[in-house]
Amino acid sequence: MEKLNLKIVYDLENPPFKEYPHCHCDIFYKKESCYGKYDFYFSYKEQDIVDNSAMYDGLTHKNTGKYVYCSECNKRLFKYRE
């Protein structure tokens, strides 16, 4: 297997691979933080079905890391820029 090179910076749109060959996982993650305020909707009658999917819309996202990780084994895979 090819050794991972963590010094090369890849464009996020043009990664070295779209599936990590070691564990064949194709779900990746990068580290972000977010802050902000939102309204949380709820009902005393319909506790499960109130939609809160818009809560993230008002949050400000910020990248806090430089690396892309494998969601399966949490290995640091490559360095990226947006």
Least distance from C-beta 65 to Zn ion, angstroms?
17
Least distance from C-beta 70 to Zn ion, angstroms?
3
Which C-beta is closer to Zn ion: that of 4 or that of 25? 25
Supply 62's token pair.
């910020």
Q: Which residues pair with 65 in a beta bridge?
A: none
- CB-CB contact of 16 with 78 (8 Å): yes
**Helix, strand and coil percent figures for the chain, each rounded to 5:** 5, 35, 60
Which C-beta is closer to Zn ion: that of 4 or that of 72? 72
Q: Which residues lie near Zn ion (CB under 5 A)? A: 20, 23, 25, 70, 72-73
Which C-beta is closer to Zn ion: that of 10 or that of 55? 10
